C-alpha cells in the first residue's frame, strides 16, 4: 500500500526547540508518522483519498528530557491518532 501525505503547515506552540533544530524535528515527525501508518494503516474514512483543511491532534508531554527527536516521535504519534487506524 502506498500512502502519500503532504503537510503544508504544522503549528507547534511553545516547544523547546531552537530554530536550527527544526529539520531534525521535521525528520523525526516524518519518520514516526510513516512508520505508524505503514504498520497500522490509514483511517477508513481517509482510504479513498481527499484533502483535509486541518487536523487536531492531542497534546504531547514536554519534559526536561525532551529533545527534537523525542518530540518529533511524540508529534508523529499524536498525528497518527488523528489519521491512522
CA-based nearest residue to 73, from 12, 30, 21, 22: 30
Domain membership flag for residue 10: no
Domain membership flag for residue 24: yes
Domain membership flag for residue 31: yes
Which domain covers residue 70, as residue numbers?
19-37+64-85
Task: State how many domains the chain has.
Answer: 1
User: In order along the chain (85 residues), what is the average pLDDT of each group of 10 residues?
Assistant: 81 86 93 93 84 86 91 94 87
What's the pLDDT at 1? 67
Domain membership flag for residue 79: yes
Between the alpha carbon of residue 15 and those of residues 18, 19, 23, 56, 60, the distances in Å are 9, 11, 14, 17, 10
Domain membership flag for residue 27: yes
Domain membership flag for residue 1: no
Domain membership flag for residue 29: yes
Domain membership flag for residue 30: yes
Amino acid at each position: 500500500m502506498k500512502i502519500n501525505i503532504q503537510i503544508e503547515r504544522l503549528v507547534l506552540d511553545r516547544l523547546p526547540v531552537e530554530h536550527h533544530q527544526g529539520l531534525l524535528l521535521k525528520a523525526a515527525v516524518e519518520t514516526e508518522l510513516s512508520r505508524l501508518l505503514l504498520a497500522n494503516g490509514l483511517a477508513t474514512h481517509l482510504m479513498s483519498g481527499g484533502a483535509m483543511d486541518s487536523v487536531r491532534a492531542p497534546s504531547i508531554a514536554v519534559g526536561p528530557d525532551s529533545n527534537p527527536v523525542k518530540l518529533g516521535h511524540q508529534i508523529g504519534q499524536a498525528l497518527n491518532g488523528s489519521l491512522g487506524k
